Chain A
Amino acid sequence: MFLGRSILLSIVDLSYSYGAQPVLQDITLTIQPTTVVGILGPNGSGKTTLLRLLSGMLTPPSGRVEVNGVNLQNIPRSLLARQMAVVPQETHVAFDYSVLEIVLMGRYPHLQPFETEGPNDLAIARTALAQTGTAALADRSFMTLSGGEKQRVIIASALAQFGHSPVDVPVELAPEILLLDEPTASLDLGYQMEIGATLRQLNANRGITMIVSTHDLNFAASICQNVVLLRDGRILAAGELDAVLNPKNISRLYDVDASVDRHPLSGQLSIVPFRRQLPSSVASQYSSSKESM
């Protein structure tokens, strides 16, 4: 397919450091439209920093991020917000907005300073609610929702940011990029599955490109086509899910032994971690304390 060769996002020689502490080093990566890319790695590997650089929240001291060939730094914020949206791990709202109000806030980048939302914006918001299975919640107070409901409403609000009307526009003309930072980390198993299903549908039906950071390998295996493995700010491996997510790479990534099999019912890769490879000093401590018990 012709889309297969086009590049939506490219990350070139990207480095970042907090003070003297390097967080990301020489990251080079290309992301094709309509793919779901998982970013995996242990705590402190630079996943969140990479997402913040991709969203323009941080300015890279060296290297660059390009969207459709244009340097991110040269794209005005309100314009970028119409093609790229961010879903954080959790959203705490200090005031009592309704769900519809939260979703309509996604339309703000499209409005002039004193302009208010019109019928078209309302239609887009309603579509976004429907596509995330939250249409019935529209008039509820956001504060009273469960964690999983909140997260789907925030995804709806992110969808409302995208430019096109409910009428389908080819994805090449209106790229839609969703950056999700550990979207399921504070949700229970049922809600994790729901968010996964919602994201899969959005990718399949709307062709939304997604970059998802997560600690949950099985969640990644259930939604991602490609994965990037980050450790100590460097790319350990990157490529198609099936090729990259194997026991050897998981061992290099987390120092954990795991089995990777295709699950007979879901048809997805299933990762079962079964042993931590402890450094020898920690291992001896651990075994001695166990003996004393």
Chain B
Amino acid sequence: MILNHNTKASQGASTEAQPPIRWRLTVTWLSFGSLMILTLLIAPLIGPTSITFSSVIDRSLPFVENVDAQIFFIARLPRALTGALVGASLAAAGVVFQALLRNPLATPYTLGISAGSSLGAMLVITFGAPVLASVIPALPLASFLGSLMAAGIVYALATLRHRDLSTMVLLLAGVTINSFFSSVIMFVQYLNDFTQTFQTVRWLMGNLDVSGYQPILAALPFTLIAFIGFAWLPKSLNLLTLGVDSAASRGVDVLRTQRLAFLTASLATAAAVSLSGPIGFIGIVIPHLVRLLVGADHRIVMPASACLGASFLVACDVVARTVMAPLELPVGIITALIGGPFFLWLLVRRQ
């Protein structure tokens, strides 16, 4: 009897240490999801003019007379939503690229997307801004097209001589495209005048200085397509990280999974960078942080990273807006400045 009791107790303990996936998924969505929603609600309350949530949702005043509601919905919420969209996209794309390349050091920018987008943005700043800016949002569009061009070249190179997507060729092509485009960028920058150089450097720092909902709405369709892809991927990504052959022998259509992973992650990154410029750090550190918290299963890492990436970037942007107010720092500076030491502390603590 006593022996029986002991076995049952130890079995109970082991299920506690490794709860069933459904339970873990629920906990993940609830905790990381509510963190993201909370961040999105609180961030727009903070700024040079303090507003309270109760006055924002005060129904006794019509919207046109409710100044707090106008500040919340018109001035600050678009920026917070942009931050959430960019943060979620970069973190999730980081997860996908790391699994695709089976390399925890991969980032959304490893395969040349940031260089492509920077080149696109830069060409507009240098040659086209005055003409085009009045007609279309030329800068984000050029950045988006530049990203897609870089991703397209890398993809073409990786599939040119191989039937399957060789991660080695992907990496080499990506790194080469990155440095090639960087050289072109430096060349164009050399030709720039001071104003243009200033604009370019500012763009490269990455910031969330958007006004209105227009930019988000333009990026949203692409982001949505990418995230639908992300929803399909996690189980295949788990198997892919065991190796291509192991994945194939467990029933994964490897080539289709690799294609879907590459295209969706590139699309999400391209849309994000077109909104904010190449904000660094999120795509590599958020996935790592999440893995330290919830383990390696991509079904959990993916949603947790997206939510945490969104929360993190929105929070960083609050700091960027307020720390030297009325000056607004580019958020790209803040992400690594805050996140870097924190992540290192976490790493050292784990050892």
Contact = CB atoms under 8 A, between A and B. Distances in A.
Interface stretch (A74-82, A228-236, A239-247): A74-82
A122 B21 CA distance: 10
A219 B297 CA distance: 36
Contact of B250 (A52, A108, A113): A108
Of B20, B243, B248, B250, the most chain A CB neighbours within 10 A belong to B250
A85 B291 CA distance: 28
Nearest to A104: B21
Nearest to B17: A139
Contact of A100 (B18, B239, B241, B291): B18
Interface string A99-138: 0111011101101011011000010000000000000001
Contacts of A52: 245
A94 interface: yes
A55 interface: yes
Contact of A116 (B22, B241, B246): B22
Contact of B291 (A86, A96, A106, A109): A96
A97 B299 CA distance: 12
B58 interface: no
Contacts of B252: 77, 108
Nearest to A52: B245
A88 B250 contact: no
A57 interface: yes
B235 A108 contact: yes
B14 interface: yes
Nearest to A110: B251
A161 B235 CA distance: 15
Interface string B308-345: 00000000000000000000000000000000000000
A100 B238 CA distance: 13
Contacts of B21: 104, 116-117
B137 interface: no
A80 B251 contact: yes
Given A94-B104, A97-B295, A109 B242 contact: no
A140 to B, nearest CB: 10
Contact of A81 (B22, B231, B242, B250): B250
A279 B235 CA distance: 53
Nearest to B23: A116
Contacts of B235: 108, 111, 113
A93 B99 CA distance: 10
Contacts of A18: none
Interface size class of B (residues with CB under 8 A): 20 to 34
Contacts of A109: 250-251
A92 interface: yes
B75 interface: no
Interface in B16-35: 17-18, 20-22, 25
A32 interface: no
B198 interface: no
B104 A57 contact: no
Contacts, number: 94
A78 B248 CA distance: 9
Nearest to B24: A116
Contact of B245 (A86, A102, A117): A86
Contacts of A100: 18
B20 A117 contact: yes
A95 B18 CA distance: 17
Given A78-B251, A94-B102, A94-B103, A105 B295 contact: no
A98 interface: yes
Nearest to B237: A95
A122 B291 CA distance: 22
Given A94-B104, A95-B241, A122-B20, A86 B246 contact: yes
A268 interface: no
Given A138-B18, A161-B250, A105 B243 contact: no
A91 B253 contact: no
B296 interface: yes
B246 A91 contact: yes
Nearest to A139: B17
Contacts of B241: 93-95
B249 interface: yes
A280 to B, nearest CB: 41
B246 A88 contact: yes
A261 B320 CA distance: 78
26 contacts: A57-B248, A57-B249, A77-B252, A86-B249, A88-B243, A88-B246, A91-B242, A91-B243, A93-B241, A96-B296, A97-B297, A98-B18, A98-B295, A100-B18, A101-B297, A105-B242, A108-B238, A108-B239, A109-B251, A116-B21, A116-B22, A116-B299, A122-B20, A138-B14, A139-B18, A161-B250
